[in-house]
Amino acid sequence: MYIASLIAEPGKLDPSLPVALRNALGGGDVSWLAQGRAAEFPLPALPAHRADIWSQCQGKGVDLNFLTAVGRRKRVLIADMDSTMIDQECIDEMAAEAGLGDSFFEITARAMNGELDFETALTERVGLLRGQPVALIDRVLARRISYAAGGASLVATMRANGAFAALVSGGFTAFTSAVAAHLGFDEHRANTLLTDQGVLSGAVAQPILGRDAKVTALSEITERLGITAQDAVAVGDGANDLGMLGTAGLGVALHAKPAVQEQADTIINFGDLTSLLYLQGYCDAELA
């Protein structure tokens, strides 16, 4: 048995769409998880031409995903940080605060789209920050960082239902520590910026946490908890998230780069982070 999930921005899901789609696909009764925002219905089998149906729904501002009905509620949340749990890329915000040029930001964009090796791109950008005061980090946190919509509810709801939440980032511990504490994550992992007498040295501690390290984190955390990767939901937007998205039982590409969407099974372009709860079958009354 499968579930057809439809999610949109608040008030943007036309009530007639889930019914029409259910009728066309031969599904079961439509259930509303959030009025005007999230609905679903069961299906006995996956439909043919799913890509065409998905494209039609995208044109209506609706995220359509097909999910397995068994084991929907996950026991672990593994989340990327930059452009996922927060609205920004921290290293770009450091560069902007320091007055560095557009070439810096082009490196980030190409790396996140999979056009550049992540570790090489990170090392080059960190090198450009050499000599900047460590206080730059606090200025960025205070002035430039905002939290992605629905993130606090996602973490709180999953933890209230017994799940473990881990923030796993290719960014820096100087930021993940603050973000994890603010949102209530149980654990955070990221890279460490090296400093020397109050300034950034232009280097990052080895080994660099990238795509493979995110998969390792997922494996280590689930093994420690005595569960499997199928019991985890992972969310991210960049090419270095693809490994963990493909390994987790539910891997969600959230407002992701085009190259990431091409390889992802579950895609959210219109909903916010609460979409991960609707994908697991939570309704509005259950959201923390």
Active site residue 284: no
Name the 3-class secondary structure at 65: strand
148: its two tokens: 């992605």
CB 217 within 8 A of CB 246: no
Q: At what angle do helices 118-128 and 90-98 cross, to 10 degrees?
A: 20
Phi, psi of 91 (to 5 degrees): -65, -35
Sheet containing 266-268: give its strands across. Answer: 187-191, 164-172, 76-79, 232-236, 250-254, 266-268
Name the 3-class secondary structure at 110: helix
Catalytic residue among 14, 29, 63, 82: 82
Active site residue 82: yes
Distance CA 129, CA 132 (A): 6
Q: Of 200, 193, 143, 139, nearest to 170 (Cα)?
A: 193
Per-residue exposure over 126-152, b if at least 16 CB sit within 10 Å of its own CB, e if not: bebbeebeeebbeebbeebbeebebbb
Per-residue exposure over 183-208, b if at least 16 CB sit within 10 Å of its own CB, e if not: bebeebbbbebebeeeebebbbeeeb
Catalytic residue among 14, 29, 63, 80: 80
- Supply the residues annotated as catalytic: 80, 82
